[in-house]
Chain A
Amino acid sequence: MLEINRRNARIWSMLGMRRVLGMALSELAEQDERFVFVTADVARYFGAEKFAQAYPDRYIDVGIAEQNMVTVAAGLAKEGYHPLTATYATFTTARALDQVRVSLAYMGLPVLLVGVGGGLAEGDLSATHMGLEDVAVMRVLPKLTVIEPADCAELLLALQALIREPRPAYLRLTGKTGQPMLYRNMFEYTIGKANCLQGGDGSLAFLTAGTVTAQVLKAAESLADAGTVHASVYDMHTIKPLDAALLEELSHCGRLVVVEEHMQSGGLAGAIAEFYAERAQRPRILALGVKDAYPAANDYEEMLRLSGLTAEGIASSVQRWMEAEQ
């Protein structure tokens, strides 16, 4: 696999997740002879042309037909192949939901669904292209693994892990090109085990996933600089199954702040709240996400700002929450 080092990480972060996925396809095909790529008229968007040339018989474009894409992939999986499907997050998880439900959740066929435009990254194209409910919908499906990498290096490790052990899964891609780098060196990546990016004083922890993680790290830094709190930050790259051991540990932490580029309800924060609901010992939880409405189409950065999901927005929400609860 492509080595994670500072130079590569910089190149990948410039490319963004979808291009990195396209770049990785040939390598996945080399590693796993049963790997096939299925898409719905967005192969070029992922930069899959090289793969298509190198592996024409493992490249299937069904046209603009996401329902067919998912179930054709399931048919290939039934015959022993390991298909990866790629299109927009919302078209895979909302339009083709019943197909995902029947073939992946009910039958357990090992199809890896990749959704680009999780969150607001494609929001300049309007609400139709925002992926704001995908985590909520996918995580309630039995048998599905739901993964949301924080940066491109982690995306590659997630792909590796999913190819090594094929299973029904949803891989959510967030952010645009020119993303911040979080991981500059090889690290141990385990599905279902969160990464601690920064330790704190134990009074407040951030739990997050996706490219918004970079904003969270900055927010934590500014809260520390302001003397408000020394927060720890966890990259919860696997939303299902949740890292129960970590949450158990954090049940003694006073406050958790969950940050996600997703509707505020039903996603990572929802999953974490469900985990703690039955426990007597539990932290208070602040859920930061998009508040029950579709933001107007806008520049990505501006939409993040208006949704309170930039470093400044996150830090001030936490500040207000802590003041209100003094």
Chain B
Amino acid sequence: MKASFDEKEVQRLAARIRLDCLNMTYAQGTEGAHIGGALSLAEILAVLYHSVMRVSPDGRRDEQRDRLILSKGHGAMALYAAMKEEGVLQEELATYKNDGSPLSAHPSRASIPGVEFSSGSLGQGLSLGVGCALGLRRKGNQDARVFVIVGDGECDEGAIWEAAQSAAHFGCRNLVAIVDHNRLQYDGPTEQVMALAPQREKWEAFGWKALQIDGHSAEALYEALSMRSNRPLVVIADTVKGKGVSFMEGHPEWHNHALSAEEFAQAVKEIEASL
């Protein structure tokens, strides 16, 4: 756990992550990329990488590192951007989704040393986190924590709740789930596609300590993610899909979409204005 927290700095980092994501998306031309759910993650990843997690500079070698599992693998752009900005990714972001690049649309453990889990198939990261948490406990590692980022739509998967139940049962106090609660999934608003509410009460009923916060407030995220609980902790981060770009915010079609030259220029202008 790092001790320092500078809200302005983290906000600037989040903005740079967003710009990186826009650049990566624009470079895909008409193919597009998973931009909406990457933008909603910017503060979460900025706070984790910059202020909360102990990060192993050479990937997975440091036993004392905190483990991050991006279960919603389609948020990969934001993950790569955060890692790059924090100096723990060798590859150039410009190679994202290029043929042969390690920076694939969903992160792969085999190609990037700092990636703990090859995600993309939803609903599995939390179980992996439970296994990691149990492994750390067995090793006597009291300090390292396991952070698992899941999407709110991803919580439709039954396996999430198998994992949630077992984390509480096994007393995984070193496990933290972060729900990117952007309220949109591929087919539309989560409450229309498959109602998730009440999220917090559900996690509590499963035996977790549950917090619901503003997922774009660096300070609120820092405070929540620094908290230690004697139960597994879930931080339901209220976010906006496409956050920071007015024409993307709240529109499900930006889940995976291409940017025109005009849209790109407009989006960059809006993010830069927040810097």
Contacts and interface: CB of A to CB of B under 8 A. Distances in A.
Contact of B135 (A65, A71, A78): A78
Contacts of B138: 36, 57-58, 79, 81
A68 interface: yes
B124 A103 contact: yes
Interface stretch (B43-51, B95-103, B115-123, B230-238): B115-123
A63 interface: yes
B8 interface: no
B132 A102 contact: no
A57 B116 CA distance: 24
B132 A79 contact: yes
B136 interface: yes
Contacts of A71: 124, 127-128, 130-131, 159, 163
A107 B129 contact: no
Interface residues of B, number: 29
A45 interface: no
B159 to A, nearest CB: 5
Contacts of B127: 67-68, 70-72, 74-75, 99
Chain A interface category by residue count: 20 to 34
Nearest to A79: B135
B269 interface: no
B134 interface: yes
Interface string A45-89: 000000000000110101101011011111111111100000000
Contact of B128 (A58, A60, A98, A103): A103
Contacts of B165: 63, 65
Contacts of A63: 165-166, 169
B61 interface: no
Contact of A74 (B120, B121, B128): B128
Nearest to B169: A63
A98 B129 CA distance: 17
Given A68-B163, A107-B110, A78 B124 contact: no
A81 B48 CA distance: 27
A65 B134 contact: no
A106 B134 contact: no
Given A62-B166, A67-B127, A99-B124, A76 B116 contact: no
A196 B183 CA distance: 61
B218 to A, nearest CB: 29
Contact of A76 (B121, B124, B135, B166): B135
Contact of A75 (B120, B134, B139, B169): B134
Nearest to B125: A71
A85 to B, nearest CB: 11
B117 A78 contact: yes
A80 B121 contact: no
Interface string B80-119: 0000000000000000000000000000011000001110
A67 B128 contact: no
B134 A68 contact: no
B131 A107 contact: no
B135 A102 contact: no
Contacts of B117: 78, 107
Given A57-B138, A75-B135, A102-B121, A68 B162 contact: yes
Given A78-B116, A102-B124, A103-B124, A67 B159 contact: yes
A75 B166 contact: no
B166 A79 contact: no
A68 B118 CA distance: 16
B166 A68 contact: yes
A210 B100 CA distance: 42
Contacts of B130: 68, 71-72, 75
Interface in A143-158: none
A9 B86 CA distance: 60
Contacts of A78: 116-117, 128, 131-132, 135
Tell me which of B116, B117, B165 has the highest count of chain A C-beta atoms within 10 A of its own C-beta. B117
Nearest to B116: A78
A99 to B, nearest CB: 6
Tell me which of A57, A58, A62, A72 has the highest count of chain B C-beta atoms within 10 A of its own C-beta. A72
A102 B128 CA distance: 11
A72 B158 CA distance: 15
Nearest to A64: B162
Contacts of A62: 162, 166
A54 B194 CA distance: 45
A73 B135 CA distance: 10
Contact of A72 (B121, B139, B166): B166
Interface in A102-127: 102-103, 106-108
B129 A65 contact: no
Contacts of A81: 135, 138
Contacts of A99: 124, 127, 159
A72 B159 CA distance: 11
A75 B162 contact: no
A62 B116 CA distance: 22
A107 B121 contact: no
Given A60-B170, A75-B130, A101-B121, 15 more contacts: A58-B138, A60-B134, A63-B165, A63-B169, A65-B166, A67-B158, A68-B166, A71-B130, A72-B166, A75-B131, A75-B133, A75-B134, A79-B136, A80-B135, A102-B118
8 contacts: A36-B138, A63-B165, A63-B169, A65-B162, A68-B166, A72-B127, A102-B120, A102-B121
Interface of A: 36, 57-58, 60, 62-63, 65, 67-68, 70-81, 98-99, 101-103, 106-108
